[in-house]
Amino acid sequence: MSTTTDYEIARAVKLPHLKLEEGQQYDVLIENVMQEVPGIGKYDDNTMTVLDVVLLATGEAMQIVVAAVLKKLLNDEGDYVGRAYRIDVGPMAETGSYRHYYLYELQKKAGSANDA
């Protein structure tokens, strides 16, 4: 039995998780600074870094778990909040100890339908 009503969602209390998969690219708008939160499941004793983003293709608000390599790229970038990026998820390193990530800052194409 569904218990939904005529109410509409005002905000997400817990954002859906976006799993970054190898060989995929994700165009996102970064909503706020990275946060350290308690780990989940077998990682209960640790913390993990999360980042709230908006998928530019759909407008969906999502949260990603930020791997160490991506975290370093964003920290090196400095003021990343409010900016749009393409996250390109590369392969695992030959050592198997980390995954390659590539980060590209995005801007709207001149003359695009979304130009104001």
Question: pLDDT of 16-39, one tens digit each?
Answer: 889 999 999 999 999 999 999 888
Q: What is the CATH number of the domain that holds 93?
A: 2.40.50
Domain with 67, as residue range(s), is 25-105
The sign of the CA dihedral 63, 23, 81, 35 is positive
Residue 23: Cβ within 10 Å count: 8
Instruction: Count structural domains, the chain.
Output: 1
What digits encode the pLDDT tens for the residues 65-99? 999 999 999 999 999 999 999 999 999 988 888 89
Q: What is the pTM of this model?
A: 0.79
Q: How far apart are CA 108 and CA 17, in angstroms?
A: 26
Q: Diameter of the chain by CA atoms?
A: 53
